[in-house]
A and B are shown apart, each in its own frame.
Chain A
Amino acid sequence: MTSLFRYRRHRLALPALLLAGLIVAGTGYAAVLPSAGATDRGPNEFTAEQIEDGRELFLANCATCHGLDAEGGTTDGDGKVSGPSLIGVGAASVDFQVGTGRMPLQASGPQAPERAPQFSLEETRALAAYVASLAPGPGIPEDRWLDPEQGDVAEGGEIFRTNCAMCHNFFGNGGALTEGKYAPAIDSEPVHTYEAMVTGPQNMPVFSDDVLTPEQKRDVIAFLEYAQAEPAPGGLSLGAIGPVSEGLIAWIVGIGGLVALAVWLGARAS
């Protein structure tokens, strides 16, 4: 200790002491504070504290549209509700909507677009905990159903083409619905993909675990992982939306390029 004491008047002594103090305080605080996502708990086991935090967050951010008791917003005379009832939607719905930034809804439009999440992971779990406490509903899926490595890409592809491709396109690149609505391009994390299937957000239909089992959902996730990750073997994928982009390129690059070359060919050399 004597050797350190010799440096007490060093010009860096004060910054070093402050840094040490910060480290002690920070680690000490973290050690004392209970962690929100403890690994020894299942994804749908929430603490009373989380539920309470969730309720406060809900009242501050969601109740204006979804009602103070989450039973739905008030009608404004012509039968339209400002926000549907959340009774029974389950933790999965909240984790999806809030986790993908769709909720809280920023502006009205044909549907809620995906945006940067506005709540932290802990706050999202708290909100999920609160809504899950209101009534039973679809829960957040366990990790083992979300691992693409364990899924069968071929099975997933078949299921995807029959159940999903008509809205989301053969590789999940999105498509149009009626009246300005759309099925978005799928590039979400496996947990959100699973939750979307099981909760049927907005106009997306529900795919219950009884009909499309968790293994089959995992197969779909594996297929999507493959579709998004694998490079297009033929070159640039041109959006992978089919013949429309191919035709556009054929005209612009192909005919455009050939006309330019023809003009060069016919022009007088200098």
Chain B
Amino acid sequence: MTVTTAVTRSADPPRTRVERLADFADSRFGAATAVKAGARKIFPDHWSFMLGEVALYSFVILILSGVFLTFWYVPSASLVEYEGPYEPLQGLVVSESYESTVNLSWDVRGGLFMRQVHHWAALIFVAATVVHMMRVFFTGAFRKPREMNWVIGVLLALLAIVEGFAGYSLPDDLLSGTGLRIASAIILAIPIVGSYLSFFVFGGEFPGEDFIPRLYTVHVLLVPGIMLALIAVHLFLVVLHKHTQYPGPGRTNQNVVGYPLLPVYVAKAGGFFFIVFGVVALMAATMQINPIWAYGPYDPSPITAGSQPDWYMGFLDGAVRTIPGWEVVLFGEWTLSLNILIPALVLPGLMTVVLVAYPWLEQWVTGDDREHHLLDRPRNVPTRTGLGVMALTFYALLWANGGNDIIAHFLNLSINDLTWFTRIALFVLPPLAFLVTKRICLGLQRRDREKVLHGRETGEVYRLATGEVLERHEPLSPEERWLLVQHDGYLPLEPGPATDANGVRRRGARLDGLRHRLSSFYFGDAVPPVTPHELAQAEAHHHALDGHGAAAGNGHPAVTRGGPPDDADGVLARDPSPAGVGSAPGHSGAAQSGEVREGGSTRA
């Protein structure tokens, strides 16, 4: 007995081509659900959010141009005689990797262009990563729930630097080979295992024949693979958490204000990829980069003046140039090369640890573990901004010293003076930068207060009958004012009780003292935002000064805002919307001063 089952047909068979395509995608992938959820997703709009995109798009450009290069580049240290068109190399015995790179440049149409695209894109990739990281830091976008994304970002930055170093060492030219020599010295300097590790990595002595092919695998397969995976997680988290947004009228911690993915961001963000690619292409078309034929093949004997790594390794080179010749020999047998270990291993290690740990450090000091989706204006977090500028100053000093011989040559200075300057400035300038930055932030915050309380200076000057000359101030609109008053005014953490209920010393009590001091450092000097009460007082003060109000032409227009009776510009809500907003009483505790607030997540 056969059993037949009727095949169910969908209610409306698709007719047009578009409908058939949509049906294809939906019945196999459930595309309609994805479209419903995602196609009109809102993203906030600010140019500083594009910095991460510059990095992402540069990465794509690197992969595209890199694949092109792999079709011609030969990762081999075998020696061949150069027989190409570049005169100064003719007849020279060089490695195949060098020869294939020179041929890529001189024999393959578009080859030189692609090499230059690849190298310019690499420099821009790391630069964009750094600038993006700075934006995330100064606006506090690394706070909960985005701490792990910050960690992934730091890892991506480190991997990008390693990847770049590996990439420009592949052609085996004089300049990058010198860099590899320095890398082998760093490995040699590692205590106990250094010489073994160096021989494993290079397959024997330096330079050996194994390193270029191994570097190729690292550069083309390993690191890009890891980076792709990390970038995927990085972007997934951005979608999961939704992008942060700058504070402003209409923007709260519970919403995202912006434009939909389709069509605005498909056009803008998609278009921006082509713009980034276009800028890189323009640079590759007009400006020469990494002319390896001119450097010559790597040979351990010759060397060029101006031996520097690419810019993103510059801070390490500068650190190595700054440090004095500290070397310790233990018991006459074991050599500890502090002059290499400190700048080349300890320093970047410490920097990484501090960067990775910072979100949790700040959370511990401030006690703020709420979800944050609104960004900080840097002036409203003066200590964090100051610390960031301090770190950048330190970094910039090391970076500059990496090029001290070029600077000396072009500015007629002495490399010895520059090195000594850096040695001292490394300890003097960063704290100075911190103080100056913090003061500037506090000054800007005070100016914001002034603007809210007294309005914007219009530049219009008028004269009273009594001879007094005054300037008319225009009060801020509610939208303008909101940006200047929306931030939190924090107070430092108080230490908890020293003993618990039974009189026993509470665990963590000692750390509390440190936490209180750090918290005071972090939040002391805080400039609180203006409250409606203060504004009303200021306006009352203006009226008192007037005597005759607007009629006297003293420049202060009749106050139309402030107290409850006259609410022309909506300081108070007209009525709470019934759409699941919840009522005020739930927050009565918040308005009272002096209460310790429970941290917690927000509910939409």
Contact = CB atoms under 8 A, between A and B. Distances in A.
Direct contact, A vs B (beta carbon within 8 Å): yes
Interface of A: 110, 153-154, 156-158, 161-162, 165-171, 174-176, 178-180, 182-183, 223, 226-227, 232-238, 240-251, 253-255, 257-259, 261-263, 265-267
Given A165-B305, A243-B311, A254-B127, A265 B409 contact: no
A169 B311 contact: no
B585 to A, nearest CB: 40
**Which are the 4 A-B pairs with shortest beta-carbon distances?**
A175-B305, A247-B311, A234-B288, A250-B123
Interface of B is mostly: helix
Given A235-B287, A244-B311, 10 more contacts: A234-B112, A241-B406, A242-B308, A244-B406, A245-B406, A247-B123, A250-B124, A254-B283, A265-B47, A265-B271
Contacts of B306: 169, 175, 241-242, 244
Nearest to A156: B88
Interface in B488-529: none
B304 A165 contact: yes
Contact of B131 (A165, A179, A242, A255): A255
B483 interface: no
A253 B279 CA distance: 9
B311 A170 contact: no
A237 B288 contact: yes
A258 B116 contact: no
B46 interface: yes
A145 to B, nearest CB: 20
Interface in B78-131: 87-92, 105-106, 112, 116, 119-120, 123-124, 127-128, 131
Contacts of A166: 302-305
A169 B308 contact: no
A110 B409 CA distance: 12
Contacts of B191: none
B412 A180 contact: yes
B123 A254 contact: yes
A258 B61 CA distance: 15
Given A154-B87, A234-B291, A237-B288, A251 B311 contact: yes
10 contacts: A156-B88, A169-B304, A170-B174, A176-B408, A234-B112, A234-B284, A235-B284, A243-B309, A244-B403, A250-B127
A161 B272 contact: no
Contacts of A235: 116, 284-288
A253 B309 contact: no
Contact of B294 (A154, A178, A227, A266): A227
Contacts of B46: 266
A249 to B, nearest CB: 6
A223 B302 CA distance: 16
Interface residues of B, number: 72
Contacts of A248: 311
A246 B311 contact: yes
A170 B292 CA distance: 10
Interface of A is mostly: helix
Interface stretch (B136-144, B233-241, B384-392, B413-421): B413-421
A262 B47 CA distance: 5
Nearest to A245: B406
A267 B311 CA distance: 31
Contact of A259 (B47, B49, B308, B403): B47
Interface string B234-276: 0000000000000000000000000000000000100110011
A233 B304 contact: no
Nearest to A162: B302
A26 B406 CA distance: 52
Nearest to A169: B305
B560 interface: no
A170 B299 CA distance: 13
A176 B415 contact: yes
B311 A255 contact: no
B305 A168 contact: yes
Contact of A243 (B174, B308, B417): B308
B311 A254 contact: no
A258 B291 contact: no
B441 interface: no
Interface in B400-414: 403-406, 408-409, 412-414
Nearest to B53: A262
A35 B218 CA distance: 70
A262 B201 CA distance: 42
Nearest to B297: A161
B310 interface: yes
Q: In this complex, which of B279, B287, B307 has the most chain A Cβ atoms within 10 angstroms of its Cβ?
A: B287
Contacts of B567: none
B602 interface: no
Interface string B342-385: 00000000000000000000000000000000000000000000
A258 B174 contact: no
Contacts of B403: 244
B301 interface: yes
B433 interface: no
B412 to A, nearest CB: 7
Contacts of A226: 87-88
A161 B174 contact: yes
Contact of A236 (B287, B406, B417): B287
A234 B116 CA distance: 8
B171 interface: no
B50 A266 contact: yes
B310 to A, nearest CB: 5
B430 interface: no
Nearest to B405: A176
A31 B333 CA distance: 82
Contacts of A223: 88
Contacts of A157: 88-89, 296
B419 to A, nearest CB: 10
Contact of B279 (A168, A227, A246, A258): A258
